[in-house]
A and B are shown apart, each in its own frame.
Chain A
Amino acid sequence: MRAVAVFLAARLARALVAVWLVSTVVFVVMRLSGDPVPLLLPPDAPRSEYERVARELGTDRPLPVQYGVFLGNALRGDFGRSIHFREPAVRVVVGYLPATAELGLTAFALALLIAIPIGLLSAVRRNSLVDQAAMAAALVGQSAPTFFVGILLILIVSLKAGWLPTSGRGDWTHLVLPAVTLGAFAMASIARLTRSAMLEVLRADYVRTARAKGLREQVVVIKHALRNAAIPIVTITGLQFGTLLGGAVVTETVFAWPGIGRLAIQSIYNRDYPVVQCVVFLSALLFIVINLTVELIYGVLDPRIRPR
């Protein structure tokens, strides 16, 4: 029991250090961007007005003090006001979050539903035509740039065939192409991993025993092999979920999907730094929380990895 507590504490400490490092980078980048005060004022504002705003924002104080205030504000979820939307940056970002969540979860579900059966089939029918085609596709899917996958899908499925809408958010038809684009990398990775994990397990003695007992092949594959191959699949799958967040920036831009990734890019063009910082910070936080959860689940599932 004590080992588990130490394991939890170490993981938690590492996650906290990561969050702190990310927030420090956000602060440094924000300071590099120069004085934010002139952005908020008309060009002909008098000196007194400038000083009033600087005092309000705290930019007239020494840097270490500003850093402390920033950390305190970030902890309370305060990233300042959006220059473009004229409301708290956090409220803006949270408003765009559901669209990203919808896209991310769909992409993830799609990746799992397609990748695991394909990986399974590939392992069972090793070196067959199906296996070779699936693994070739997975290799391309793993190295293809996300934005170009999206462009190709729009070109072929939407524009040439006219089956699905090209962009925007609406009914489920709008969701298909962005979800496939965003999920492509995870799909390829999970399929390859499922295949290799299954191949490993199918060689094991207990699988031979199960077969020798005369069990049907389906029972052997599903009940004996897949169950034991599940742990590495669960882990990598969980980590892939975090990676989806990064891909969302690109996918949302390609498909004009109104989520936080597209918001980040647009805020850069609007020079709306509070929103950019808030998105970067929240995504990093989300990513770290997901990774931590996966590691904890994994530690529960497989006692062997705990000491480290």
Chain B
Amino acid sequence: MASSIPASVPADAAAVGAVGGRVGRRTRRLAIMGGLFVAGLLAVAAAAPWLAPQDPVRQSLRARLSAPTLEGSDGKAHPLGTDHLGRDVLSRTVYGARVSLTVGFAAVIIGGLVGAGLGIAAGYRGGWLDTAVMTVADAQLAFPFILLAIGIIAVLGPSFPTLIVVIGLSGWPGYARVLRAQVLVLRSREFVDAIHALGGTVVRVVGRHILPNVLSSLVVIGTLELARSIVLEATLSFLGLGIQPPTPSWGGMVQEGREYLDTAWWISTFPGLVLMLTSVAVSRTGDWLRDLLDPTLRGE
């Protein structure tokens, strides 16, 4: 948000003054559970072809809108039921993890590269570059990105690469602002002048000395951005602007099940719950990493 907001009020005072205490331990336990959940999800996504009991896009007229059952009318188990085309909800949810995580991680990498690159350049070079980068970052932060994303995707047409680039670019100002501020402080330190005096190049200073110093912030922002990217992908897919059918995505599945909410609640509910759990788990892990690695980021 706007830079004039004082960062003096911690976003979550629970852990302050309670580090290592009862509450601190609980926070850590929750974060470890969150981390384990994400690791499990990654494993599920990687092993989807072996884990999913059925083909996620295979339709079966006989087994349409089947409630969760271990013995469906097509003789197969559908532990989470089937959708309006008779596709297995469990299998689709498992494959949906692939889409969510692929888009999420790819978007974080794009946003991170652009944001960190511009942020470090702005902080290191200063001058007009700094002004230009920060003006654009503030302008982008100044309005609801989802509207812009909708406009761009509407014109370019929804596709996997477009989605990743749009979601990735939606996150760059977050990295840029934090890294710029840190680099600004780092570059005025004596060791930078010393390296320059010894003939070290800018590339060497940034690569060997600045980057390692801002790495922990990068990891923290990246984790929080991952949660945001996954939710944004699901939201766009829900609106019909993200992953297109028949490819299973959590947001798209919630959308498909909307019409049948009254009679077949399981179509929307299960993928939605997994999405919600993922989002909570990833952002909890991010909060915990922030408290652990870089408590100064709290105000952001």
Of A79-87, A102-110, A216-224, A245-253, the one contacting chain B is: A245-253
Chain A CB within 8 A of B249 CB: no
- Residues in B neighbouring A302, C-beta threshold 8 A: 6
Helix, strand, loop or mixed for chain A's interface?
helix
Partner of A265, one of B150, B152, B156, B269: B150
Q: Could you mark each residue 21-50 of chain A with 1 if its beta carbon is under 8 Å from any beta carbon of chain B, else 0?
A: 110011001101100000000000000000
Q: Which of B136-168 contact A (CB under 8 A)?
A: 136, 138-140, 142-148, 150-152, 154-156
Given contacts A143-B231, A196-B10, A253-B239, contact A235 B5 (CB under 8 A): yes
Say whether A18 contacts B9, CB under 8 Å: no
In the complex, how many angstroms separate the beta carbon of A254 from the nearest chain B beta carbon?
A: 8
Chain B CB within 8 A of A121 CB: no
- Residues in B neighbouring A90, C-beta threshold 8 A: none
Say whether A151 contacts B150, CB under 8 Å: no
CA distance A148 to B239 in the complex (A): 12
Partner of A155, one of B135, B144, B238, B261: B261
Say whether B3 contacts A22, CB under 8 Å: no
CA distance A149 to B273 in the complex (A): 10
Partner of B144, one of A18, A196, A246, A295: A246
- Residues in B neighbouring A235, C-beta threshold 8 A: 5
Say whether B9 contacts A145, CB under 8 Å: no
Q: Which of A260-295 contact B (CB under 8 A)?
A: 264-265, 268-269, 273, 276-277, 279-280, 283-284, 287-288, 291, 295
Say whether B2 contacts A127, CB under 8 Å: no
Q: Which of B235-272 contact A (CB under 8 A)?
A: 235, 238-241, 251, 254, 258, 261-262, 265, 268-269, 272
Partner of A148, one of B14, B142, B151, B272: B272
Chain A CB within 8 A of B198 CB: no
Q: Which of B1-38 contact A (CB under 8 A)?
A: 1-6, 8-14, 22-23
Say whether A143 contacts B279, CB under 8 Å: yes
Chain B CB within 8 A of A17 CB: yes
Q: Could you mark each residue 133-153 of chain A with 1 if its beta carbon is under 8 Å from any beta carbon of chain B, else 0?
A: 001000110111111100110
CA distance A238 to B265 in the complex (A): 37
Say whether A308 contacts B143, CB under 8 Å: no
- Closest B residue to A201 by beta carbon equals B9
- Residues in B neighbouring A288, C-beta threshold 8 A: 142-143
In the complex, how many angstroms separate the beta carbon of B272 from the nearest chain A beta carbon?
A: 4
Partner of B265, one of A155, A236, A239: A155
For chain A, the bracket of interface size reads 35 or more
CA distance A154 to B261 in the complex (A): 9
Chain A CB within 8 A of B110 CB: no
Say whether B235 contacts A159, CB under 8 Å: no
Chain A CB within 8 A of B90 CB: no
CA distance A291 to B150 in the complex (A): 22
- Closest B residue to A305 by beta carbon equals B4
Given contacts A195-B13, A283-B144, contact A144 B261 (CB under 8 A): no
For chain B, the bracket of interface size reads 35 or more
- Closest B residue to A7 by beta carbon equals B4
- Residues in A neighbouring B10, C-beta threshold 8 A: 196, 200
CA distance A308 to B134 in the complex (A): 14
Chain A CB within 8 A of B275 CB: yes
- Closest A residue to B284 by beta carbon equals A139
- Closest B residue to A20 by beta carbon equals B139
Say whether A268 contacts B150, CB under 8 Å: yes
Q: Which of A159-205 contact B (CB under 8 A)?
A: 159, 192-193, 195-197, 199-200
Say whether A145 contacts B146, CB under 8 Å: no
In the complex, how many angstroms separate the beta carbon of A288 from the nearest chain B beta carbon?
A: 5
Say whether B151 contacts A276, CB under 8 Å: yes
Given contacts A155-B265, A200-B9, A249-B146, contact A17 B135 (CB under 8 A): yes
Given contacts A151-B272, A193-B11, A239-B1, contact A305 B6 (CB under 8 A): yes
Chain A CB within 8 A of B93 CB: no
Say whether B147 contacts A144, CB under 8 Å: no
Chain B CB within 8 A of A232 CB: yes
Partner of B150, one of A154, A195, A264: A264
Chain A CB within 8 A of B280 CB: yes
Partner of A250, one of B5, B136, B235: B235
Chain B CB within 8 A of A208 CB: no
Say whether A17 contacts B139, CB under 8 Å: yes
In the complex, how many angstroms separate the beta carbon of B25 from the nearest chain A beta carbon?
A: 13
Q: Which of B152-186 contact A (CB under 8 A)?
A: 152, 154-156
Say whether B142 contacts A18, CB under 8 Å: yes
CA distance A198 to B155 in the complex (A): 47
Say whether B136 contacts A21, CB under 8 Å: yes
Partner of B155, one of A33, A140, A291, A305: A33
CA distance A245 to B147 in the complex (A): 9
- Further pairs besides A193-B9, A250-B239: 9, Cβ < 8 Å: A143-B284, A145-B235, A145-B272, A145-B279, A147-B239, A195-B13, A280-B147, A288-B143, A305-B4
Q: Which residues does A use to contact B, with CB under 8 Å?
A: 14-15, 17-18, 21-22, 25-26, 29-30, 32-33, 127, 135, 139-140, 142-148, 151-152, 154-155, 159, 192-193, 195-197, 199-200, 232, 235-236, 239, 242-243, 245-247, 249-250, 253, 264-265, 268-269, 273, 276-277, 279-280, 283-284, 287-288, 291, 295, 298-299, 302, 304-305, 308
